Structure 1
């Protein structure tokens, strides 16, 4: 089999049609260049150049080889560049898991940052609840997770990415609150939701939100009258839209809420304000061998840096 140096020598002579000029172009002397051509002709069993004292010409065999030799050399250069880009994290593929809310807040900001700094990296996006993301990070099916703080798994590390807060979602124009309904723009004390039908987060897929809502109700001295469960915010908002009750959702969910749902800030008295903090974390497997993941982690900073900011305050 012929070698790349032999093809490089052949292309140089074929384009220059002069051994001296080709040797100068390749920064070598003429005798080793001639030997490369001779070895190539021997390997192929064909004469590639017609030589006289006055000129060098391509034979029919040489003319056939030239475009293919150029393609081979171009492919080698491209392959070398692609491998270097993947190795440095400038190219490759990253699988990102994200929650429904993160898909409307942190994810677009992260993708925009990556597009500006890692334009040759491709992304595979998978909407998953936090527990499924954690499973994917452990198994290697997910490279980066945008998830809620849950019980840590060995080998998975995370850091804060974004803060949000919960707000109350009610059916628009609902009489559920009766005379206690606050005026437009006024915060709503959670005590007003005492024993109202509460649309709640699943204990399995959305334990983080489930426990946070219960803590908020307890701090306000309100009874959580749970009537429906769902694992994702859009499903809970669909229940609210249907008039089946009230729920608490991240403030960032207001940007994609369906018609027929109104929102109220939660009254922050009695320690509720200190509890009402929704965290989103950036998680990855500490043993990842994907250079693009490591490069992305360098680009996405914690909230204290110049990274992704809170969409609606803390």
Structure 2
């Protein structure tokens, strides 16, 4: 079955005008070429689409059914160049965004809401990955953008700080530390069982805490990779844990959060991370849209 767009346009014009002469004038052509177009279309489709009278014309049942498809095909064809232009300009398209689990504590939702409001035709596909996995996926072209923890290789990636927050100590609400009227200091934790971040799977938090809060390693009772797991262990009375301030949003029962004396008031950082070279035209638009979220 082979037919042309001009033949489809001819059928639509005749169907709407119900007159070959008026349809020909509308298409800025004479009636004989229009009649030949319709005949060729009927031959290609293999059925009669129009019933022709001496003074009028009307669609056959097959013509009625085919008319809807003809209009759909023409609409797709006419919108295709505009769609290609929007994709090329970055106003529509797909951005693949990876995020760490702790980035879901407020930051990810705020970011997605902003993109949906300002770039409604850009679809964001989500992937949960630790920073190490994000770096590999960005380098391999599997994702376009990450919400990750530093440090990053500046020769391969560009990054911008998007969120900074305090480091807190999570304890059970009936723990003696919960009744302190001052920030916690390392000496307060000398005898406490610690729930610590994995040095392999949560390297950022592990290095951050070791550098800021000197503690005896023999007090580490559990090592895990996810903040939410740490909080449930705290709730079960398995120890105390260092978590980002945004972890309070999770609402784990029987857990309270205490201030800690640290050299930097807000040491926990979350960055937008992307490759220095990308062929995704939507990525620059996304980054420009998120610029105002960056401190």
**Equivalence for 1:217:** 213
**Equivalence for 1:259:** 253
Judge conservation of contact 2:171–2:234 (CA < 8 Å) in 1. Answer: yes
1:215-257 per-residue CA deviation (whole Å, 9 max, x = no partner) reads 1124xxx545433211111122222222232221111111114
Deviation at 1:282, TM superposition (A): 0.9
Q: Distance in 1 between matches of 2:94 and 2:175?
A: 47
Q: Distance in 2 between matches of 1:16 and 1:108?
A: 52
Instruction: State how 1:245-284 maps to structure 2 within 5 Å.
Output: 245-268=239-262, 272-273=263-264, 276-284=266-274
Pairwise CA RMSD: 3.1
Judge conservation of contact 2:160–2:294 (CA < 8 Å) in 1. Answer: no
Equivalent position SS for 1:229: strand
**Equivalence for 1:190:** 186
Deviation at 1:120, TM superposition (A): 3.6
Judge conservation of contact 1:237–1:257 (CA < 8 Å) in 2. Answer: no
Q: Does 1:230 align with 2:224?
A: yes
Judge conservation of contact 1:198–1:227 (CA < 8 Å) in 2. Answer: yes
Deviation at 1:209, TM superposition (A): 1.0
Note closer, same or farther for the CA distance 1:62–1:239 as it changes in structure 2 (3 Å cut).
closer
Judge conservation of contact 2:193–2:240 (CA < 8 Å) in 1. Answer: yes
Deviation at 1:64, TM superposition (A): 5.4
Judge conservation of contact 1:133–1:145 (CA < 8 Å) in 2. Answer: yes
**Equivalence for 1:299:** 289
Q: Distance in 1 between matches of 2:227 and 2:80?
A: 45
Provide TM-score, normalisation by structure 2: 0.83
1:113-164 per-residue CA deviation (whole Å, 9 max, x = no partner) reads 1221233443332322211222222233333211111342864332211111
Q: Distance in 2 between matches of 1:297 and 1:237?
A: 33
Q: Distance in 1 between matches of 2:294 and 2:113?
A: 11
Q: Distance in 2 between matches of 1:25 and 1:298?
A: 46
1:250-278 per-residue CA deviation (whole Å, 9 max, x = no partner) reads 1111111412222111235xxx135x411
Judge conservation of contact 1:138–1:153 (CA < 8 Å) in 2. Answer: no
Note closer, same or farther for the CA distance 1:234–1:34 as it changes in structure 2 (3 Å cut).
same
Between stretches 14-23 and 44-53, larger displacement belongs to 44-53
**Equivalence for 2:56:** 55
Deviation at 1:92, TM superposition (A): 3.7
Instruction: State how 1:145-164 maps to structure 2 within 5 Å.
Output: 145-152=146-153, 155-164=156-165
Q: Distance in 1 between matches of 2:81 and 2:154?
A: 37
Q: Distance in 2 between matches of 1:165 and 1:235?
A: 19
Q: Distance in 2 between matches of 1:206 and 1:121?
A: 31
Deviation at 1:99, TM superposition (A): 1.5
Equivalent position SS for 1:71: helix
**Equivalence for 2:166:** 165
Deviation at 1:280, TM superposition (A): 0.4
Q: Distance in 1 between matches of 2:3 and 2:129?
A: 51
* Number of aligned residues: 292
**Equivalence for 2:30:** 30
Runs of at least 5 residues in structure 1 that lack an aligned partner in the other structure: 310-314
Instruction: State how 1:109-188 maps to structure 2 within 5 Å.
Output: 109-152=110-153, 155-175=156-176, 182-183=180-181, 186-188=182-184
